[in-house]
């Protein structure tokens, strides 16, 4: 048994298809199939059920894959540890970000990283929180920028900043003339939400529950931009993170809706960066966190009312 064969097995488990698994491992399908059969022979147990319609793991296969992932993650971390010993703030850093955050922070973060950490080459991935955590724990990512809290004693984290929410309303809405919105005023409104799986949906739901607001279930957006356009069409109101709200000035139909800050206490979310405990890239990850915290754009988040005057 060798590490290569374990990687083949994990690839089959992830792709549920021998051809795609072989392609991801840069080998031919016959080679991958032969090596997995040899692995089964060595272990003396069937790991994969093969049929013309689907590829499934046996109970033993699932158990072996779970352990194989842990072994491969440890080996990859060991390799990264040796590489990082030479250039701890250099090389590739696989960084995941949630979709309600990535498009609005990266235009500020990427140039800053190029200036402050010249030898670091960030590889950026956008996905929902659950998938980012899965990839982080499987060693496919070095770190993930997500909203707190994220459960897991196997992860370290550093808070980055607090991001306030603002209310987006159609321009003709009765509350559009107010300078700020009291949270309790949400209880008379239908709040538009993102689709299942987005952590922003859960955060908005928590706020709705707190003040007794109803939520519009007939419409669910798959992205922040769709959500914004639904408000512009008059379908309802929504909560926007402040960084996303700052991009309003560039929208051609920005006059179709207005943004209003909330009165104190302002609802907000705390963004953080997470990584595996014992990761060889911890020094680089902490350096990225420091660069992020020092971004000038984040100074504007302390005063949502002033921020919205600019957009």
pLDDT at 290: 97
Q: How does pLDDT run across 26-75, given as a tens digit for each residue?
A: 999 999 999 999 999 999 999 998 877 788 999 999 999 999 998 988 88
Q: Which two tokens stand for residue 48?
A: 């994969």
d(CA 224, CA 239): 10
| 216 pLDDT above the threshold of 70 | no
Task: Burial-class residue 217 by CB neighbours within 10 Å (0-12, 13-18, 19+).
Answer: exposed
| 310 pLDDT above the threshold of 70 | no
Nearest to 33 by CA among 45, 47, 53, 43: 47
Q: Which is more confident, 82 or 32?
A: 32
Share of the chain above pLDDT 70, in %: 94
173 — phi, psi (to 5°)?
Answer: -70, 145
Q: What is the mean pLDDT of residues 17-31?
A: 92
Say if pTM beats, i.e. exceeds, 0.85. no
Q: What is the mean pLDDT of residues 206-220?
A: 68
> Which domains are present in the chain?
3-82 (1.10.10.10), 87-161+269-302 (3.40.190.10), 162-268 (3.40.190.10)
Query: Among 94-98, 209-213, 237-241, whose mean pLDDT is lowest?
Result: 209-213
Q: How does pLDDT run across 132-155, given as a tens digit for each residue?
A: 999 999 888 999 999 998 888 899
Q: What is the mean pLDDT of residues 282-288?
A: 95
Residue 272: pLDDT band by 50, 70, 90 thresholds? very high
| 306 pLDDT above the threshold of 70 | yes
| 91 pLDDT above the threshold of 90 | no
| 212 pLDDT above the threshold of 80 | no
Cβ–Cβ < 8 Å for 190, 216: yes
């Amino acid at each position: 048994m060798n590490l290569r064969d374990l990687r083949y097995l994990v690839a089959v488990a992830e792709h549920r298809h021998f051809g795609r698994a072989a392609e991801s491992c840069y080998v031919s399908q016959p080679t991958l199939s032969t090596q997995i059969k040899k692995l089964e022979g060595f272990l003396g147990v069937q790991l994969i059920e093969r049929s013309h319609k689907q590829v499934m793991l046996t109970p033993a296969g699932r158990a072996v894959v779970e352990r194989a992932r842990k072994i491969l993650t440890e080996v990859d971390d060991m390799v990264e540890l040796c590489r990082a010993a030479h250039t701890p703030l250099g090389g590739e850093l696989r960084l995941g970000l949630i979709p309600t955050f990535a498009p609005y922070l990266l235009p500020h973060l990427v140039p800053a990283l190029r200036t402050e950490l010249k030898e670091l080459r960030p590889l950026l991935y956008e996905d929902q929180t659950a998938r980012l955590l899965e990839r982080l724990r499987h060693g496919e990512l070095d770190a993930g920028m997500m909203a707190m809290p994220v459960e897991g004693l196997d992860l370290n984290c550093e808070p980055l900043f607090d991001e306030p929410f603002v209310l987006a309303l159609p321009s003709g809405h009765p509350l559009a003339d107010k300078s700020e919105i009291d949270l309790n005023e949400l209880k008379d409104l239908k709040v538009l939400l993102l689709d299942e799986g987005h952590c922003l949906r859960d955060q908005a739901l928590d706020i709705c529950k707190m003040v007794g607001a109803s939520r519009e279930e007939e419409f669910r957006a798959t992205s922040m931009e769709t959500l914004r356009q639904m408000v512009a069409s008059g379908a309802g109101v929504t909560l926007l993170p402040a960084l996303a709200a700052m991009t309003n000035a560039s929208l051609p139909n920005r006059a179709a809706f207005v943004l209003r800050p909330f009165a104190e206490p302002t609802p907000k979310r705390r963004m953080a960066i997470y990584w595996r405990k014992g990761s060889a890239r911890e020094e680089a990850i902490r350096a990225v966190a420091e660069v992020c915290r020092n971004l000038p754009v984040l100074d504007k988040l302390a005063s949502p009312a002033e921020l919205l005057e600019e957009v």
